[in-house]
Amino acid sequence: MQKLQETPKIPQTVVIRSFLSNLLMVSIGILLIYWSYCLIKARMTTVISKDAVINGVLIDLKTPSEGIITQFSSNTGESTTQDQILMVLKNERVSKLKIQEIISRLNEYKTRLKRAQGKLAQDMSLLKIVTADQENYRSLRVQETQQSIAQINANLQAARARLELAKVKYKRGAYLTNEGALAKADLDEARLEKQESIAQVSQLEAQLKKFSVEEKAAYLDLSLNRSFSNFDPKIRLQQLRLDIADQRLAIQTLQQSVKDAELELKEAKIDHARLQSIVVKAPVAGIIWRLDARKGQYVGNGDSLGKVLDCQRRWIDIYLEERALESIHPNTPATVELYGAPSEVLQGQVSLVRSGIGRLAPGEEIAVPLIPNLPRQSQVRIDLPKTKKGDSNLFCYVGYTAKVTFKVK
């Protein structure tokens, strides 16, 4: 009996290799399908712009005054903080006219003050003399008045004695006349003598009262008679006291003027030193973009010293097809990926959308002729986040090329 032909056996290794090949092909197919799905989804949900450049604000540094640069504290590419001193200028040609004018005025005030103080010292010495004169004058007036009163009292006593004698003589003459022993003419003479004595007594009594009042006035340092300033120490004393008061007021005014002038001179010297040494500070926190001056260089008023990059104000402008604006509007978030720094990804948002670039002359009534097949591009500006401090030698990534991606619905 003929034996059946045996079927050749397939090696086990060949079967395993075929299975792995099939599995690999299936996996590649699945990955291709997933990649196609992600690509289609990205195309539907994102807008991508390439080759956009980050921009920023450059602030021009200008000299506030002319001078020679004596100090340099920063170099190009270095970060700066706000109000940081960048350089110092020296100006030796600042005018000292104001300082000299203040010094001249201060010397005049001091001279007038010294003269016023000398005059016050003289018046104070004279015041002592006039005060003593016034006291002596009052004492002499009292003594003079008392002597006058004593003299009047003596005269009054004599007048009263004569009056009594005249009364007796008149009484006796009247008796003798009645008896016929004396002529009437003699009686009339006795009557007249009596009346004169009465009048003299009355006059002396009146003078006594007057001098008594003057004595009281002398004790009170009062004058009842017309006085002249050339002779009465009291008038001179009053005038001298007024002069001393005025002199003291003038001295106080001059002393205050001296203080004010000294303060003004101090401030003028500070201003003069400040104008001689001019400090140039960084206006903002950022990066020194460029320096146009060097140490030892003379610069004029308003000359440019360089530029500082303001890292607080950065943006990136991109250009998109006009159809993409249906999905992009202000405040739309954007992701900025830097080609020069792949690890640095910035997050910003749209702040400006401008269309019609190259196809519109705003404000003009004459239409701009359209070039055939001219792309309808629109400008989109994305504001970038602020940085507290500039990145040294990186210029806050200004000038870096980036890819911008928008997440849209």
Q: What is the pLDDT of residue 28?
A: 81
The residue to which tokens 């970038």 are assigned: 384
247 and 106 fall within a common domain: yes
105 and 246 fall within a common domain: yes
In a domain, 276, yes or no: no
Q: Which residues pair with 319 in a beta bridge?
A: 379
Q: What is the pLDDT of residue 261?
A: 92
Q: How far apart are CA 218 and CA 342, in angstroms?
A: 113
What's the Cα-to-Cα distance from 118 to each of 115, 127, 247, rounded to whole Å?
5, 14, 10
In a domain, 155, yes or no: yes
217 and 174 fall within a common domain: yes
Q: How far apart are CA 12 and CA 175, in angstroms?
A: 205
Q: What is the pLDDT of residue 250?
A: 92
230 and 142 fall within a common domain: yes
Residues of the chain with pLDDT under 50: 1-5, 44-45, 228-229, 390
Q: What is the pLDDT of residue 325?
A: 80
Return the half-sphere exposure (C-beta side, CA atoms, 13 A cut-off) of residue 43. Answer: 6
Q: What is the pLDDT of residue 249?
A: 93
79 and 105 fall within a common domain: no
Domain boundary among 230, 261, 292: 261
Distance, CA of 156 to chain centre: 84
371 and 313 fall within a common domain: yes
In a domain, 347, yes or no: yes
193 and 299 fall within a common domain: no
What is the pairing mode between strands 345-354 and 304-321? unpaired
Q: What is the pTM of this model?
A: 0.50
Extract the tokens encoding 28: 């590649």
CATH of the domain at 228: 1.10.287
In a domain, 1, yes or no: no
Side-by-side strand order, sheet with 67-72? 277-281, 85-90, 67-72, 298-299
148 and 244 fall within a common domain: yes
132 and 187 fall within a common domain: yes
349 and 241 fall within a common domain: no
Q: What is the pLDDT of residue 114?
A: 93
- Containing domain of residue 308, as a range? 46-84+283-407
Name the residue among 289, 314, 295 with its Cα closest to residue 80.
289
Domain count, the chain: 2
247 and 364 fall within a common domain: no
Q: How far apart are CA 26 and CA 201, in angstroms?
A: 165
CATH of the domain at 295: 2.40.30.170
